[in-house]
Structure 1
């Protein structure tokens, strides 16, 4: 797949305003109404991760979900990370376009 350059990553992030690039990964944090809604989104994201065979580093505290994406086999951020970020955005913010 191939690791993206920092310039390529920053250009792609223009389409993902909730995401930031640092520590060799793209990161986002999403806040939900409550724990149930957060966990529901995590479950839906898990199905996308399995379909893409790409799994995030993530954590959840009550209603906040923190996600970091990096393709470990390629040593950094790849198009695969942005494909998963796009799926995540669709799940957590389906009404926004």
Structure 2
């Protein structure tokens, strides 16, 4: 019986996920991406878009905002590592960044 909690991904699944998301890299138990927006307001629009998506998914990234540089860190804290939620949210972050470009 499933607990409803996402399962940790295997190393092969993580590698495949990163292949599909070339702008992301791995740091320990997380995946990370840094984005340079065209302006501070553009960076905030990206963050605002991700905030809505994150609430809908009930899965939230760590976001560091430094003027127009955004750094996203994803991991499923409750599981202590990477799950499918992280790669789904990473793809949605990529969409939000493309929409603002």
Residue among 28, 43, 48 paired with 1:38: 43
Moved over 3 A (4+): none
Q: TM-score, normalised by structure 2?
A: 0.90
Structure with max Cα Rg: 2
Query: TM-score when scaled to structure 1?
Result: 0.93
What corresponds to 1:62 in structure 2? Answer: 67
* Structure 2 unaligned blocks of 5 or more: 1-5
Structure 1 portions without partners, runs of 5+: none
Q: Deviation at 1:71?
A: 0.3
The alignment covers a number of residue pairs equal to 96
Q: Deviations over 1:52-79 (max 9, x none)?
A: 0000111010011000000011110000
Question: What's 1:15 paired with?
Answer: 20
Q: Does 2:86 correspond to 1:81?
A: yes
